[in-house]
Amino acid sequence: MRDVIVIGAGAGGPVVAKELAARGLDILLLEAGPRHDQPREQWTHFENDANNPLTGFFRLGPADRSKPAWYREWPQNSFVWQLSGIGGTTQHFYGNYPRAYPGVFNDYSGADAGNYDRAHQFPFGYAEMVPYFEWVEATAPVMTAAMGTKEEVFFRGCESLGLPVQTTKTTREPSYRPQENAILQPGGNAGRTTDTNLLQYPRATGCTMCGFCFQGCMEPVNAPRNQFAKRSTDNSYVPMALTADVWAEHGKPVELIADAYVTQIHAEDRGGTLTATGVTWRDNATGHKRREDAQVVVMAGGCTENPRLWFNSGLPNPNDWVGRGYTDHFFDWLIGVMDHDTGSSKGPGSSARLDFPGYGGLENVGLPPALQAFSATLSDSGIRGEYDNGRGQPGTWDGPAGRLIGPELKDLLLNGVNRLLNVLVITDDDVEADNRVTLSSFPADENGPVARVQFQHRQRTMRTIRNREFMANKAAELLRGTGAKSVYRIDWAPLILHVQSSMRMGESPDNSVLDATAESRAVKRLFIADNSALPNAVGGPNPSLTTQALATRTAEKIFQRYFDGDPWVHSEAPTVSTDPRISVRLGELGL
């Protein structure tokens, strides 16, 4: 009997595991995918080796790359960018840690309150969340990002828009700023040389501006795992969870099992209350199944896998909201073609952003060439100049929106990957019941019926569409301000990569799966601690910080309710994840 079993080691699960391990609980952390504990042997900087969704080391599949990836049904032109493995999608994320906008919390009374998804707000106030933001910001740690060339170019565009610079953590008005990133900023030789010999730790510390965020961060060379620049959870929270005995007074290291696919959550009736009792998982390599019981079960398998596991476990769904309300920031993408250097393939993926509370935001995104090509071809508006699927929006960009194919794609890329500037449009999108996960009618895989991810992307709410069009036009204006000689709007098909709220917490039991403590309304002792627990799309900011802050709060709730413990965030100081005691213990463990 464990104290707590956590399902999934992505952005959220390791936070609960680490926090409760620090309290001395017996934690089992299960991850369906691989454990990359020797990244210099297991990873490369090559795009296909890393990111091919079928064969890459960053894919949704078992650890054995000779085995096929896990397929999911996407009944529309879309791409759901799931990753298995320790770190989950933080393995390839850009470490952007903006706070959720205050307007998505239930204590908001600003003049623009009507601009937000008020029907699906956080069931508590922003003020209550701030200490948890601060706790995670100190743990990760979060820092103001340095500029590279592409940020200098992006800021030139921002300056042309006449908006103020945000100099606070909290976003309160339309503004732009360097990202607050969970990335250790360049130190020593980092960012100042391309000479590999000079970029060895500790002569270089933090971000070396290598440009390979999406291929996994293992910089600087020879740094301890918890000193790698990007604070994906495989570099931050998981090392802390594994070493809780050396940095927390009463800490107990978690047990971590990878390549372990949870296929069943067990529950039983206890005095008329359905109560979670444990899980069964399947070893991907051997096919053997194993069951363990726990006092509390925490789901953190992601917005797509949590509903699947729920349905496959036969758990109740009384209000039919399991899997519903999936938000994705309804991304769009604009590409500015420059006649000067942008350094687009260098440095962190994104170090600059523009926020427009009530609408969403923009950020610059640097990419290597294959992802650049992918980004220019993922469209819901057909092929520019040939067909447009009834879309092909006109605007302040050049010509109709749509994908670039053939000669146009070649001309774009021949301009040079480092003479493009990409702007990601991040829409504050509404929670909508019909954007959802169900079980697919397609054949099951070895772990049971698979997930079907449905997005009614052409029937989003008027507010969502308004926000996306507004931000796309802002992006084009920004690119014009940088001096772009041409601007393309791709009108992305759903790229489901910022994922939120498919198992949402909420104020009303009619449209939420979780109560305000992230405990399931239908099954007691069952909590959710990843992006799927978010009540909404957090207004558009990248969701990782908000998820981790919420998961920290959830860990406190678990500890108080089921282990008679006291909360700690308001009374203690957090330990930073780069703490040298962690580095030493990782070395002793061969990690």
Partner 1 sequence: MTLDSSLDRRTFLARIGLLGAAVGTGGLVPANATAQTVNPLPDLVALLRPVLAELARDTLNGLTAFVFPGPDEYSAAQGTPRDEPGAAEAKTTEFMIAALDNFVPFPDRLAQPIAAAVATGTADSGIPLPGIEQLPQETATLDDALGALLENDATIPLSLSIAGMLNLVATQVNPAAVNGAFLSPFARLSYTDKAQVFQRIEQANSDLVAMLDAEFPEPSKDAVSGLLKFVGGALLEFVAYGSLTEWAVLTEDKRLTARPVGWDLTGYLPDGPVEGWDDFKGYYQGRREVHD
Within 34-63, which residues bind partner 1 (CB under 8 A)? 44-49, 52, 54-55, 61
Q: Site for partner 1 (CB under 8 A): which residue of 140, 210, 334, 558?
A: 210
- Residue 562-591 contact track with partner 1, rule CB under 8 A, x = bound: ------------------------------
User: Does the protein bind partner 1 through residue 561 (CB under 8 A)?
Assistant: no
Coil, helix or strand at residue 420: strand
Comparing CB distances to partner 1, the nearer of 263 and 375 is 375
Q: 3-state DSSP: the chain helix, strand, coil percent, rounded to 5?
A: 25, 20, 50
Which one, 171 or 313, has the nearer CB to partner 1? Answer: 171
Q: x/- string (CB under 8 A) for partner 1, residues 157-196?
A: --------xxxxxx------xx-x-----x--xxxxxx-x
Q: Does 413 bind partner 1 (CB under 8 A)?
A: yes
Q: Which residues contact 568 (CB under 8 A, 6 or more apart)?
A: 23, 556
Report DSSP state, residue 304: T
Which one of the spans 288-296, 426-434, 439-447, 528-536 is the region binding partner 1 (CB under 8 A)?
A: 439-447
- Closest distance between partner 1 and the C-beta of residue 379, in Å? 8
Q: Distance (Å, rounded) from C-alpha 555 to C-alpha 247?
A: 18
Stretch that binds partner 1, among 3-11, 205-213, 314-322, 533-541 (CB under 8 A): 205-213
Separation between Cα atoms, residue 295 and residue 559, nearest integer Å: 11
Asked if 147 interacts with partner 1 (CB under 8 A), we say yes
Identify any residues that bridge with 276 across adjacent strands, giving them in sequence order: 267
Could you say which of 90, 115, 208, 422 contacts partner 1 (CB under 8 A)? 208
The backbone region for 88, taken as left when phi is positive above 0, alpha when psi lies in -120 to 50, beta otherwise, is: left
Tell me the C-alpha distance between 533 and 562, whole Å.
20
Whether residue 9 contacts residue 84, with contact meaning beta carbons closer than 8 Å, is answered with no
Stretch that binds partner 1, among 247-255, 259-267, 435-443, 548-556 (CB under 8 A): 435-443
Does 416 engage in binding with partner 1 (CB under 8 A)? yes
- Report the alpha-carbon distance of residue 251 to residue 243 in Å, rounded: 8
Q: Which residue has the tokens 């600003």?
A: 110
**Looking at 346, 460, 498, 585, which residue binds partner 1 (CB under 8 A)?**
346
Among 26, 39, 138, 152, which residue sits at the site for partner 1 (rule: CB under 8 A)?
152
The two three-digit tokens of residue 75, written as one number? 């009944």
The amino acid occupying position 105 is F
User: Which residue's structure tokens are 């960053």?
Assistant: 58
Which residues between 445 and 484 bind partner 1 (CB under 8 A)?
A: 445, 452, 454
- Examine residue 507 and tell whether it contacts partner 1 (CB under 8 A): no
237 binds partner 1 (CB under 8 A): no
Assigned token pair, 429: 């999108």
The reply on whether position 308 binds partner 1 by CB under 8 A is no
Residue (168 or 271) nearer to partner 1, CB: 168
Which residues have C-beta within 8 Å of that of residue 140, sequence separation ≥ 6? Answer: 97, 182, 231, 236, 548, 577
CA dist 422 and 500 (Å) reads 23
Which ranges of 243-326 does DSSP label H, i.e. alpha helix? 244-247, 305-312
The binding track of 364-403 with respect to partner 1, each residue x by CB under 8 A or -, is ----xxxxxxx-xxxx--xx--xx-x-------------x
Selected binder of partner 1 within 38, 76, 273, 508 (CB under 8 A): 76
User: How many Cα atoms within 13 Å fall on the side-chain side of residue 389?
Assistant: 19
Scanning residues 89 to 128, which ones bind partner 1 (CB under 8 A)?
Answer: none
Give the number of residues in contact with partner 1, rule: CB under 8 A. Answer: 98
Q: Does 361 bind partner 1 (CB under 8 A)?
A: no
